[in-house]
């Protein structure tokens, strides 16, 4: 019975994944700010039904690392191709990186099982 309940929740659970470029070696504070930008931007783009479901479940967010810009774009494109909400953040360049540098991206809020199909091999930041 418990397994059935867990499986049922897993099928409908929502989350958001934020992908951070490792090659930029951003300071912790910069990473935090860029992740916040990515999360908010994706929520503003997401269908209200996904946002409501995600909020109801506690707004799960997972921050993962990608090697570089090329890998970041590859994961974002895979999510777009599957119809998921995505956002890319390009920095203004006032502090750490050059203007126009893409620093992070986000996928979701969408169903966790769908996001995991794309990002399951990535490591936590």
Q: What is the CATH number of the domain that holds 50?
A: 3.40.1490.10
Q: Does any domain span residue 5?
A: no
Instruction: State which residues of the chain have pLDDT below 50.
Output: 5, 8
- Residue 5 has a pLDDT of 47
- Residue 72 has a pLDDT of 98
- Residue 17 has a pLDDT of 98
Q: Does any domain span residue 103?
A: yes
Write down the pTM of the prediction.
0.90
- Residue 3 has a pLDDT of 53
- Residue 61 has a pLDDT of 97
- Residue 2 has a pLDDT of 53
Q: Does any domain span residue 8?
A: no
Buried b (16+ CB within 10 A) or exposed e, 55-90: eeeeeebbbbbbeebebbeebbeebeeeebbbbbbe
Q: Does any domain span residue 4?
A: no
The domain in which residue 64 lies consists of 13-124
């Amino acid at each position: 019975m418990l397994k059935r309940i867990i499986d049922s929740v897993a099928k409908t659970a929502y989350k958001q994944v934020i992908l951070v470029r490792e090659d930029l070696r951003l300071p912790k504070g910069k990473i935090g700010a860029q992740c916040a930008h990515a999360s908010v931007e994706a929520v503003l783009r997401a269908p209200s039904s996904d946002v409501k479901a995600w909020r109801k479940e506690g707004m799960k967010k997972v921050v993962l690392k990608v090697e570089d810009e090329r890998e970041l774009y590859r994961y974002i494109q895979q999510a777009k191709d599957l119809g998921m909400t995505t956002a890319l953040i390009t920095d203004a360049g006032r502090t750490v990186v050059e203007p126009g540098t893409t620093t992070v991206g986000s996928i979701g809020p969408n169903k966790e099982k769908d996001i995991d199909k794309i990002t399951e091999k990535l490591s936590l930041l």
